Chain A
Amino acid sequence: GESVGLHLPTLSVQEGDNSIINCAYSNSASDYFIWYKQESGKGPQFIIDIRSNMDKRQGQRVTVLLNKTVKHLSLQIAATQPGDSAVYFCADHPYTGKLIFGQGTTLQVKP
């Protein structure tokens, strides 16, 4: 079946540096992806999404890149802050309501 995987379970960065979290998906027909942030003890929080008619989408300090050729997407966080420390998930949204989540990457921000 379809799957979504993250490349690194943990990413440690220095405060102020840029962070890049990667995600790979298996279904070449996938059309819509969502990034979530989950802080300890809380529910997943929507960060940004992207549909397959776009290669790049920017939000506040975040950018998502989508490479459909290699079935890969990444989340870039600019000027990483301590408040960015969390687990980040990418999710494949197949328009059935049944999101397919990756395992998550834990982002640790060192002061």
Chain B
Amino acid sequence: DAGITQSPRHKVTETGTPVTLRCHQTENHRYMYWYRQDPGHGLRLIHYSYGVKDTDKGEVSDGYSVSRSKTEDFLLTLESATSSQTSVYFCAISESVTDTQYFGPGTRLTVL
């Protein structure tokens, strides 16, 4: 998985609670991405980062925030989790915006 780890790998939480997912890379790539994968929708971009403290929204950013204080870590936060955010979340990295993206192993999140 190209030097990418995600934690936790599985999480069950309740509606209304905050949740933070972590992506950690050892490749020193500048770009990091958060995707969600749902049946019938494929992979959709939530947020991405083009450097420390530099982030931008993707296709489905509502209800999510991100932070990147170090090159190697990209955090995805659900401020108040809802059942519609039950999904599998993948982190990806790339050296530049025009390069191939490599994906992590994923986090399965269930919001009850």
Task: Find B100's partner among A34, A43, A98, A104 (CB 8 Å cutoff).
Answer: A34
Residue of A nearest to B105 (CB): A43
Chain B facing A: main interface SS: strand
Given contacts A43-B1, A46-B100, contact A99 B43 (CB under 8 A): yes
B94 near A43 with CB under 8 A, answer no
- Cβ of B59 under 8 Å from chain A: yes
- List, in ascending order, chain B residues with CB within 8 A of A95's CB: 97-98
Task: Find A44's partner among B43, B44, B45, B48 (CB 8 Å cutoff).
Answer: B43
| Count, A-B residue pairs, CB within 8 A | 51
27 contacts across the A-B interface (CB closer than 8 A):
A32-B98, A34-B100, A34-B101, A41-B106, A42-B1, A42-B105, A42-B106, A43-B1, A43-B4, A44-B43, A44-B90, A44-B103, A89-B43, A93-B98, A93-B100, A93-B101, A95-B97, A95-B98, A96-B97, A97-B31, A97-B94, A97-B101, A98-B58, A98-B59, A101-B43, A101-B44, A103-B42
How big is chain A's contact interface, by range?
A: 20 to 34
